[in-house]
């Protein structure tokens, strides 16, 4: 898309393949991806009955205008087994269970397990989440890696970020700070799966200082009074233009190219085999 052939001023308009009308998501959920990745061209065309499903959810301060939430799990800690570089975070699993229970038991909204996706960036966290959900009598919740949900959508998307500190193995290129979640493509996929509610679960202090797209997103949500699980006294509205300036200051635009991704040889550590995708 960066080639001259695809530029707006190109006379060969027949090669332009972008779709501008979005029939999936609430307008507030489109603002960030639209400005960062689509030149501000996305237009919300989704029906209100789709986007307003969670607007009265008790954990939201203003669900009608801003159905996005960041839940702080300050005491979480990533763990890994000796024979794998993949991480899991038990506290985040527990927090996600509590949020799902709050959604399903809410008196203000009517949702079921089929309305919910849980997305994460580590295979070990996928397995731990499935185990925790089964023990909590929630075995039908759909859990997977970012790549598993490419092209899919649902009313509610919960995102588990897992990491709480930097690790040497993630210190270079797109691996820095949040592992390969700093890849702009994966970031875009993760935050654009929801139509009515997007909830990010993680250690806010770490994510906010990660120097990634997530840093800008956390600040944007904080300014819209969307942080839960920790004290948040700043209720000023944070404009999308300020978000873009912050992204520019972090030098994030343009990252996420193919050569920056994690080594192909490591890909097997982060993907579930198809035969394990059946919920038991």
The predicted pLDDT at position 44 comes to 81
The predicted pLDDT at position 239 comes to 47
- pLDDT(280) > 50: no
Q: What spatial distance separates the first Cα and last Cα of the chain, rounded to whole Å?
A: 42
The predicted pLDDT at position 113 comes to 95
Q: Could you tell me if 222 and 70 are in contact, meaning their C-beta atoms sit under 8 angstroms apart?
A: yes
The tens digit of pLDDT for each residue in 203-212 reads 999 888 877 7
Q: Is residue 13 part of a domain?
A: no
- pLDDT(185) > 90: no
Q: What is the pTM of this model?
A: 0.75
Helix, strand or coil for residue 140?
Answer: coil
Burial of 250 (0-12, 13-18, 19+ CB in 10 A): middle
Q: In whole numbers, what is the pLDDT of the chain averaged over residues?
A: 78
The tens digit of pLDDT for each residue in 91-142 reads 999 999 999 999 999 999 999 999 999 999 899 999 999 999 999 999 999 9
- pLDDT(20) > 60: yes
DSSP assignments along 46-107, one per residue: --HHHHTTTTT-TT-SSTTT--EEEEE-TT---B--TT----B-HHHHHHHHHHHHHHHH-S
For 66, half-sphere exposure in the C-beta direction (CA atoms, 13 angstrom radius) is 20
Q: Is residue 245 part of a domain?
A: yes
Give the C-alpha separation, 106 to 185, whole Å.
33
Q: Is residue 4 part of a domain?
A: no
- pLDDT(2) > 90: no
CATH number at 246 reads 3.40.50.300
Q: Is residue 44 part of a domain?
A: no
Q: Is residue 42 part of a domain?
A: no
Q: Is residue 14 part of a domain?
A: no
The tens digit of pLDDT for each residue in 192-203 reads 899 999 999 999
Q: Is residue 203 part of a domain?
A: yes
The tens digit of pLDDT for each residue in 61-99 reads 898 999 999 999 999 999 988 777 789 999 999 999 999
| Reported confidence tier of residue 1, pLDDT bands at 50, 70, 90 | low
Instruction: Identify the bridge partners of residue 157 per DSSP, sorted by sequence position.
Output: 117, 198
The predicted pLDDT at position 277 comes to 43
Name the residue range of residue 183's domain: 53-261
Q: Based on the structure, what is the number of domains in the chain? A: 1
Most confident of 70-84, 147-161, 260-274: 147-161
- pLDDT(39) > 60: yes
């Amino acid at each position: 898309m960066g080639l001259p052939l695809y530029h707006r001023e190109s006379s060969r308009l027949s090669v332009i393949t972008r779709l501008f009308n979005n029939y999936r998501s609430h307008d507030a959920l489109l603002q960030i991806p639209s400005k960062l990745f689509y030149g501000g061209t996305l237009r919300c065309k989704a029906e209100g009955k789709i986007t307003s499903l969670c607007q009265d959810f008790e954990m939201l301060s203003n669900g009608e205008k801003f159905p996005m939430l960041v839940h702080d799990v300050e005491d979480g800690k990533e763990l890994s087994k000796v024979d794998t570089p993949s991480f899991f975070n038990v506290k985040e699993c527990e927090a996600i269970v509590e949020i799902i229970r709050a959604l399903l038991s809410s008196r203000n909204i009517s949702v079921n397990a089929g309305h919910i996706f849980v997305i994460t960036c580590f295979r070990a966290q996928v397995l731990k989440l499935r185990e925790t959900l089964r023990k909590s009598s929630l075995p039908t919740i759909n859990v997977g890696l970012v790549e598993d949900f490419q092209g899919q959508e649902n009313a509610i998307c919960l995102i588990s970020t897992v990491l709480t500190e930097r690790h040497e193995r993630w210190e270079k290129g797109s691996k820095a700070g949040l592992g390969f979640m700093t890849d702009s493509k994966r970031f875009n996929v993760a935050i654009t799966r929801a139509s009515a509610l997007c909830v990010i679960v993680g250690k806010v202090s770490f994510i906010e200082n990660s120097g990634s797209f997530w840093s800008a997103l956390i600040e944007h949500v904080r300014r819209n009074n969307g942080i839960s699980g920790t004290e948040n006294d700043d209720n000023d509205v944070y404009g999308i233009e300020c978000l873009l300036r912050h992204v520019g200051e972090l030098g994030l635009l343009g990252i996420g190219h193919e050569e920056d991704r994690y080594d192909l040889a490591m890909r097997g550590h982060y993907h579930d085999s198809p035969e394990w995708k059946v919920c038991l």
